[in-house]
Each structure stands twice: as C-alpha cells, then as structure tokens.
Amino acid sequence: MALVTNAVYVGGTERLTPTDLTRTFELMRETGGMGWIGLYRPEDEELRAVASEFGLHPLAVEDAANGHQRAKLERYGQTLFVVLRPARYVDAEEKVEFGELHLFIGPDFVVTIRHAESPDLGLVRRRLEADPELLGAGPQAVLYALLDQVVDEYGPVVEGLEIDIDEIEDELFGGEPDVSRRIYELHREVIAFQRATQPLEDMLASLLHGSEKYRLDSELGRNLRDVQDHVIRIVERVNTFRTLLQNALTVHSTLVAQRQNEEMTHLTETSLAQGEEVKRIASWAAILFAPTLVASIYGMNFDNMPELHWALGYPFAVALMIGLGLGLFWAFRRNDWL
C-alpha cells in the first residue's frame, strides 16, 4: 500500500483521518488545516493526483518518482522540495545502508515520499502530535522534525564507523592480511556517508537565511540552528574519518613496501652468504685439484716418461704439489675468497 500516512491537522490539536486522498483534499479546504500525506514508493496515479492538487513542479515530481537523487533543497515558488538521505549502520556487515526521503513542503501541506524503510516517520508524527504547540507551527515544524530525526539517526552510524576505524588501526600494525581490503571498503562507505551529510550544511544555512522572507517561526529557527550544529559536528567527524582512512592506506602501503624491502634485503644477504660459501668451496676444490693433477700425471703407467728414473723425481713431484697448493691458497686469500 503506497499511502501510509493520511491526516489533516487543525490548529495542532485536532487530527482528522480521511480514508482517501480525495477526502483529504476536501477536508483541507473545509477546515483550513494542514494536510500530511505520506507515500511509500507511490504509483504514478497517486503521485499525479497529489501533484495536481498542490501544484507541484513537474521536475520535482519526476525526481520524486524516479528516486536515486542526491541530498538537496530546491524552492519552487511557495513549495520546497527536499531530498534527504537517511542512513543506518549494519554492524554485522560493517556497512552503511542509505534510504531516500523526498519532501514537498507547502503553505498548508506536507507530502513525504519514501523509497526505503528508513527513517521511521511514525516516530516523527507521534512526537509532533504530542507537542501541539510545535505542530501548530505548520509544515515548517514538520520539516524541522524530519530533519532532526534524520540527523539523529546519523549518530549511531558515526559511532559504528569510528569503532571500525579504531579496529583498523590495531590491525594495521598487527600484520592482518585482509586489512587493505577492509580499509578500501570502509573508505567507500565513508565517502557515501559524506555525500549524504555534507549537503545538509548548505540546506540548513539556506533555510535559516530565508527565515525572515518566508516568516519562519523564531522558535523553529532556534531548533533548526540546533540541528545545524549537529550536522556541522557530524560533517567534521566524517571528514576526519576520510582523512584517517586515507592516511591508513598510505601507512599500509609504506608498511608493505618496508616488508618487501626487508625480504629483499634478507634474500640479498642470503645470496651473498651463499656466494661466499661457493667461493670458499671453489677455492679449496682448486687447491686440492692442483696436487691431484700432478699426482695423476706421475701416476700414469708409461715407461718412457720424463724424470721417471730420476732420483729427485719423487721429492720434486711432492714439492711441486705443495707449491701449487700454497700458491693457489695465497692467490685466493689475497682476493678474499678464503
């Protein structure tokens, strides 16, 4: 059912509950009361009926029908068109879910169009009905209450994001393998939240700037300034979150590069150590090879060999082997191979 709220308020104290839109329009004209029509993903026919009755601008109606709009405030004559992006934090998934709320605020009517479950507009309606003085201020009071509700619901989102960032800071230096993915995903959530909250600063400033021109009740003006203060604090914290996550990405990249450098240094040191061992082994192999070569030559079983029957042949061969070994040892030692 697209029509979820359908009431006419007279003087902030009397509430009339018509059964359909046609009767709502009739009661508004008969009593001079304020109509509050709440729609949830309305059909084109219902939206056209409301637009025709209140003279809503076609461009604003088109935006409200299609959805997927950024947070904004536009004025069409005596009618305000406001788009809000309520949010809630899903702790189990570490994700921020965004809704979309469209408001048409006129001199004697309020039309709310939701494209998601959030926010709970029933809370806003009950709050206003419990405060006839505030409700008696008319559509502007409803706008204030809706803004206040959306901004209040941002609080748990900020707290959830802050907890996640604290956990990421611990994981960053703990060597968690999936921390980079978590940083990127949370950074994306923060950017989306920033897009939902940041436009509210200019929207509230615009409402307060035109308070005299559009005869905004002084008490409502103070209430809107209070909402504006909350928005400014939230925006500042969200900006800080984005900076922290950007720094976390930089630190993570630095730590990864540092670990890679340490691994490369270790590999280099290992390679150098292995190279030194290879040189030592090769040196001793060459030293042992020289006497073996001499001995193998003199060990050949041939009768006609030089120095074979020479009396000094054996001492000469031994001296030659020792000399070659000492010579190679000295040469390798001089070149730091041994």
Q: Please, which residues bridge with residue 89 across strands?
A: 96
191-234: per-residue pLDDT in tens?
Answer: 999 999 999 999 999 888 876 766 777 888 899 999 999 999 99
Per-residue pLDDT, 329 = 76
115-170: per-residue pLDDT in tens?
Answer: 877 778 888 999 999 999 899 889 999 999 999 999 999 999 999 999 998 888 88
205 vs 235: CA distance, rounded Å: 14
Cα–Cα nearest to 203, from 336, 113, 70 = 70
138 vs 307: CA distance, rounded Å: 128
Query: Binning pLDDT at 50, 70 and 90, where does residue 1 land?
Result: very low
67: left (phi over 0), alpha (psi -120 to 50) or beta: left
Extract the runs of DSSP E, i.e. beta strands, from the chain: 3-10, 14-16, 34-40, 72-76, 79-84, 87-90, 95-98, 101-105, 109-114
| Domain boundaries along the sequence of the chain | 3-257, 276-334
111 contacts 103 by C-beta, under 8 angstroms = yes
Does the domain at 3-257 match CATH 3.40.50.970? Answer given as: no
292-313: per-residue pLDDT in tens?
Answer: 766 776 666 656 666 666 666 6
